[in-house]
Structure 1
Amino acid sequence: MAKITVIDYHTFDGEDGKKLSNQLVDHKVDILHRCGGKGRCTTCRVEVFEGAFGDISDIEKQSLAKKGHTQKNIRLSCQIRVNGDATIKPIMTKSNSHLEPGPRPEE
């Protein structure tokens, strides 16, 4: 089990191998995922303070670049899987955007 610390929320036990976006939803973090986890909308962005989520995929890289998000510590939670302890901060949430989250990303 990984310890996932979500700044401004809480810490929870994450399950290695599962998508970060779904684990955030399951642990009551109101992160957006407007495209349903397809890596297109970038609303599920998180800032990674600690932890490694592996190499960035081409889909993730292209989607972030297309929207002007080029910082190395910004990742799409629907495109990364938990693989150890991490500290992150959701960038867009239902609370700060007043948007509906979107369909649950497929596992």
Structure 2
Amino acid sequence: MPTINVIDYHSFEGEDGKKLVNVLEDNGVDILHRCGGNSKCTSCRVEVIEGDFGPKSESEQQTLAAKGFNDDHIRLSCQVRVSGDATVKAVMTKTNSNLEPGTRPAD
């Protein structure tokens, strides 16, 4: 299984093919997902420090652009699937925002 290292948290193994947002949450990262994983709100965004989650979908590109996030290293964790080792930084968490995470995204 791939190893996911989360800056300011810890490293853990993530199930290949599973949505990154759920892998993060299942391993104690209090990542937000306010729209329930529908690529609408950008609250689940992560900065990819190392690793590659493949190309952005059209939906992910449009949502990020609409919110002004044009950096190639910013991804929506609800739209990417674990596919190899990676190091990421969770941008918005319950801890740093005082917001409730939202409805858990479907796998």
Pairwise same-fold verdict (TM > 0.5): yes
| Structure 2 residue 2 is matched with structure 1 residue 29 | no
| Structure 2 residue 55 is matched with structure 1 residue 76 | no
Task: Tell me the distance in 1 between the aligned counterparts of 2:33 and 2:22.
Answer: 9
Unpaired stretches in structure 1, ≥5 consecutive residues: none
Unpaired stretches in structure 2, ≥5 consecutive residues: none
Q: For the aligned residues, what is the CA RMSD?
A: 0.4
| Structure 2 residue 33 is matched with structure 1 residue 38 | no
Per the normalisation by structure 2, the TM-score is 0.99
Q: Report matched runs for 1:47-62 at 5 Å.
A: 47-62=47-62
Q: Which runs of 4+ in 1 moved over 2 A?
A: none
Counterpart residue number, 1:63: 63
Cα distance, 1:3 vs structure 2: 0.5
- Number of aligned residues: 107
Q: Report matched runs for 1:75-94 at 5 Å.
A: 75-94=75-94
Cα distance, 1:74 vs structure 2: 0.1
